[in-house]
Amino acid sequence: MNDEIVLRKNILDNNFQKHLQITTGSLIVAFTYVIGLVIASISNQIDWIDSANVTLIIIVTIFVIGSSSIFFIRSNRKLKRINIALQNLIEII
């Protein structure tokens, strides 16, 4: 019985670490993209008058920020569930 609990705790710990990495990675990607966009805009590397250029920037922005947000939200929910499961497991011990 004790080995089962330890094994379950280790699996939950591994899942927690995996989702924590996904959460922080998605934040890093989104933040890096925004900073790069700001730097490119300040240094006049982006032509805001060209509609094709702006359209491409908008599409890429929606893709990067949208996917990062989805990964962040899903992983954050799973982190909360794993945390509750770990607390319940610790109460059993």
- pLDDT digit string, tens, across residues 18-60: 999 999 999 999 999 999 999 999 999 988 898 899 999 999 9
Range of 66's domain?
2-92
The single-letter DSSP state of residue 93 is: -
What is the domain count for the chain? 1
pLDDT above 70: residue 13: yes
